[in-house]
Structure 1
Amino acid sequence: MSNYNQLFDLLLHGSDEQLKVNLPFVYPSDILDILNDDQYSEEDIVSILVRLPNDMIGQLLDEEEQEDKYELLQRVQKNRHSAILEEMSSDELVDMIETIDDQSIVDDLLESLSEENKTEVSQLMSYAPESAGGIMASEFINLYDNKKVKQVLEYLQEIKDDVESHYALYVTDRQNTLKGVVSLSDIATSDFEVSIADIMNPNVISVHYSMDQEDVAKLFDKYNLPVIPVVNDHNQIIGIVTFDDIIEVITQEATADIHQMAGIDADERADSTVKETVQSRLPWLVINLFTAILSSSIVAYFSGTIAQVVALAALMPIVTGMGGNVGSQTYTFTIRSLAIGTIDDGNAMFVFNREMKAALINAAVISSLAFVLGAVIGQDLQIGMIVGASMLLSILFAAALGYLIPSILNRMKIDPAIASSVLVTTMTDSFGFLVFLGLATVFMRYLI
């Protein structure tokens, strides 16, 4: 059902029978679009939520953005909260709880859960938020290898509504030690009397609960898996990470990197308040202000040179601007390549050499053009030569910094996106001013 108006009419005005028949074929994300659409009144939204069954609202909460989950739950009658929370995936429930600042509310939510779910949620909350344990769900299917295919099919029918993913079934021993994996397609296409041990794959790709979520995402990309099991120190399966969790991780990490490269807090959103936006951006603007003092002090030091050859003032921004552009290109490429793992110890030197060779070619072309431009604007071949030489050195320096600074920060276990742009910009600007004005000072007698 793609027409939102029709879906809205069904949800609000359709008969109970119509709702029962059609709801299984409606995507929760489409219902969320209606619930979050300002054109519909709050009264209508509340009426729709009253009509929706608990399992559907649980799916809506699973699909909703992390920061908005609890707000959605609050729009539902409080006497339904306990039943709805039981319908949520454990990982999504933890995500919602972690956004709530009031500990008394958290305690009330946990108290409303069954003992089994409360234990699972408490355990998930103990893992680092950006680790495999922090994003995993505790609902998964495990089997013993002595089971027959027919027994497994009957078991799947019994638990069809209680698990996060049916893509893979994990074979364990009585201590929950991971032994193998079998796909649902293998189950469906095998004879009923075949043993699970005969069709399972013992080569299971798994991750430790402490693995960083970015590294987990790389494994998904490398092996094209829909789900990966999470194990503890004893190789016992404790949860699974599904592809939809990884899509969220990739989106969040990419957004965070882009924000941090621009000096914006990783968590800033389109619906952030003015106060939150200012708090996110002002610290980096203050840092940029103080780093700009270094560049301005270099210019001030050579003020006498500029006073004698006024054309230098017009040409300075060209040299520093081009260096900044090259640095930006290089560190953007390097940061992203480090993030997705395409630059590693095995090819780091090769990539650096390639970057420098490319920078040398670019610098040769750009500095030649800069020589002509400088000679025309300064009406002096010597000025053109100074501009060209400065441009050549500035581009090479910027390319080297754009690669080395993110690489060094990455080796220091510091997110390269956080500080690379500030460091590279400051250092390339300062170097550009220093080389350009320094050369102009050295060759001053040829310019006047």
Structure 2
Amino acid sequence: MNGDANTVAEALNRRFLQQHPLAAARRLEELDPESAAALLNKMPPAQLTPVFEQLSPSSAAAILPHLGEDRVKEVIEFTDPKAMVAILHQLDAGQADAYLDRVSPAVKKELTALMQYPEDTAGNLMDPRVEPYAGTLTVEQTLKRLRQPGYRVKPVLFVQNDSRGLSGRVSLQTLVAARPDQSLDEIKGPVSIFVEPLTPQEEIVALFDKHRFQSIPVVGLHGELIGVIWQDTLVRAVEEDATSDVQAMVGASRDERALSKATFAVRKRQPWLQINLVTAFLAAAVVGLFEDMIARFTALAVLLPVVAGQSGNTGAQALAVTMRGLAIREITTRHWVRVVWKESQAGFMNGVGVCATTCLGVFLWSQSAGLTGVIGISMIISMVIAGMAGALVPIVLVRVGQDPATASSIILTTVTDVMGFFSFLGTATLLSGFL
């Protein structure tokens, strides 16, 4: 009876894995690696690999050592190469090499080649399992091949010439609508856009954005097709890049994950926290220059955070817009004058609007026209400078070859705090006779 129950449970597990691979992957990620591997070891390879591809790379890498030796070989050979490369990158170089030694030479060569391409390049984003078709094949022959069991049908077919060079593309819709006796050479369209394996991701994003293709072929030195970048792959890559930029902007490592070890997080975050501390002392030093003024007019200390906060928000808005423009190649460093001028104008107009509200509130609170004038003038000045800094900082970092996401936020915070405090307290010093 107990054996029958186990059999039923295994059958249900297999069915769940087969019909709901994504949901199954999320449930497996909640288990410890040994328990997850124990379940996967009982599953046929055809049901195992779709689930394995849906696991996060870190979870899959943790489960892999607990799978049976035969299962490891099957998983590596049948999992999508891009997904497998992401998993292997989570392992030590020695571990990854040991796993690659277990698989067939062809699979090892394919995965090794993919692992050698730098991140954020076409070679790292492409799908290498795309078969080019000879232009002499007829539509009937091509459709017969596509109907073979297990064949990976894609929305676009790529055609090669006699010398194996890429010569055209045929959409699945065009193929189905063509006469059976027509050759692929007769119905193919031109390949106007293609990239090389080392083409940067930013250029690929710009090509997709400009031409709206669903796919872009990747060609080798002799024009041969070596892979295809699909639009959904690029979208995921851009999303990952954007989220890693968010982490980098606040001083967290791009490699850190929510479940990373605390020691790893501390090692990556501590240097930036120390740098941030130094910049905080710089802002404090500016306040210290006006210590006597603050002692005479204590209301200035109350209003300092208001000016600093508004200038910080203004700078962050300008920074976000500028960094997005640089990321999607909407602008380049050559556009710095136009971008800075636009942000300074926006800072001035926003400053006037915020100034009106601030002055009203400060006057009702303090009944001092002098204090109201001081904060109004300094608010406009600080917001104009913050807007200019938010646009200029990432552009300058790109120009000198640095990652703008890594340092822009800390530099901008320093500029907005220092200039916010200085404009407010400096204006108060100049107009002290009216306070």
TM-score, with normalisation over the residues of structure 2? 0.90
Q: Residues 395-435 of structure 1: CA distance to partner in whole angstroms, max 9, x if unpaired?
A: 11111111121222234443322211111111111111112
Of the candidates 42, 48, 52, which is equivalent to residue 57 of structure 1? Answer: 48
Conserved in 2, the CA contact under 8 Å of 1:167 and 1:227? no
TM alignment of 1:329-340, pairs within 5 A = 329-340=317-328
CA 183–346 in structure 1, closer or farther in 2 if over 3 Å, else same: farther
1:30 aligns with 2:30: no
Structure 1 distance, partners of 2:20, 2:425, is: 63
CA 368–34 in structure 1, closer or farther in 2 if over 3 Å, else same: closer
Conserved in 2, the CA contact under 8 Å of 1:141 and 1:166? no
Conserved in 1, the CA contact under 8 Å of 2:341 and 2:388? no
Structure 2 distance, partners of 1:414, 1:161, is: 46
In structure 2, what is the equivalent of residue 106 of structure 1? Answer: 96
Per-residue deviation, 1:179: 0.9
1:362 aligns with 2:350: yes
In structure 2, what is the equivalent of residue 328 of structure 1? Answer: 316
CA 48–266 in structure 1, closer or farther in 2 if over 3 Å, else same: same
Q: Residues 16-62 of structure 1: CA distance to partner in whole angstroms, max 9, x if unpaired?
A: xx95xx57961321221232234x9965x455323321132222222
Per-residue deviation, 1:200: 0.7
Q: Residues 95-152 of structure 1: CA distance to partner in whole angstroms, max 9, x if unpaired?
A: 222211151x222211112111122222222211221112223211201212211121
1:383 aligns with 2:348: no
Structure 1 distance, partners of 2:215, 2:326, is: 24
SS in 2 for 1:207: coil
Structure 2 distance, partners of 1:191, 1:297, is: 79
CA 112–96 in structure 1, closer or farther in 2 if over 3 Å, else same: same
1:130 aligns with 2:125: no
Per-residue deviation, 1:344: 4.6
Aligned partner of 1:313: which letter? A
TM alignment of 1:230-309, pairs within 5 A = 230-309=218-297
Q: Which moved more, 1:66-75 or 1:135-144?
A: 66-75
CA RMSD of aligned residues (A): 2.7
Per-residue deviation, 1:376: 4.5
Structure 2 distance, partners of 1:112, 1:368, is: 71
Conserved in 1, the CA contact under 8 Å of 2:196 and 2:220? yes
TM alignment of 1:139-178, pairs within 5 A = 139-158=129-148, 161=150, 163=152, 166-178=154-166
Conserved in 1, the CA contact under 8 Å of 2:139 and 2:184? yes
CA 249–11 in structure 1, closer or farther in 2 if over 3 Å, else same: farther
CA 155–24 in structure 1, closer or farther in 2 if over 3 Å, else same: farther
Aligned partner of 2:87: which letter? M
Conserved in 2, the CA contact under 8 Å of 1:12 and 1:47? no
Aligned partner of 1:334: which letter? T
Per-residue deviation, 1:11: 8.1
In structure 2, what is the equivalent of residue 5 of structure 1? Answer: none
Of the candidates 11, 14, 24, which is equivalent to residue 11 of structure 2? Answer: 14
Q: Residues 164-206 of structure 1: CA distance to partner in whole angstroms, max 9, x if unpaired?
A: x522211112433211111122222211100111111113432
The size of the alignment, in residue pairs, is 430
Unaligned runs of 5+ in 1: 1-8
Q: Residues 344-390 of structure 1: CA distance to partner in whole angstroms, max 9, x if unpaired?
A: 57976555444333322211122233334444445432222111111
Conserved in 1, the CA contact under 8 Å of 2:29 and 2:55? no
CA 67–88 in structure 1, closer or farther in 2 if over 3 Å, else same: same
Conserved in 1, the CA contact under 8 Å of 2:18 and 2:47? no
Q: Which moved more, 1:285-294 or 1:60-69?
A: 60-69
Conserved in 2, the CA contact under 8 Å of 1:264 and 1:280? yes
Aligned partner of 1:161: which letter? G
Conserved in 2, the CA contact under 8 Å of 1:375 and 1:382? no
CA 228–63 in structure 1, closer or farther in 2 if over 3 Å, else same: farther
Conserved in 2, the CA contact under 8 Å of 1:143 and 1:172? yes
Q: Residues 291-319 of structure 1: CA distance to partner in whole angstroms, max 9, x if unpaired?
A: 11111111111112222222221122221
Structure 2 distance, partners of 1:11, 1:136, is: 41
Conserved in 2, the CA contact under 8 Å of 1:311 and 1:377? no
In structure 2, what is the equivalent of residue 48 of structure 1? Answer: 39
CA 162–139 in structure 1, closer or farther in 2 if over 3 Å, else same: farther
Conserved in 2, the CA contact under 8 Å of 1:367 and 1:388? yes
In structure 2, what is the equivalent of residue 69 of structure 1? Answer: 60
Structure 2 distance, partners of 1:411, 1:360, is: 26
- Seq. identity, %: 29
Conserved in 1, the CA contact under 8 Å of 2:130 and 2:227? yes
Aligned partner of 1:308: which letter? R
In structure 1, what is the equivalent of residue 3 of structure 2? Answer: none
Structure 1 distance, partners of 2:380, 2:272, is: 30
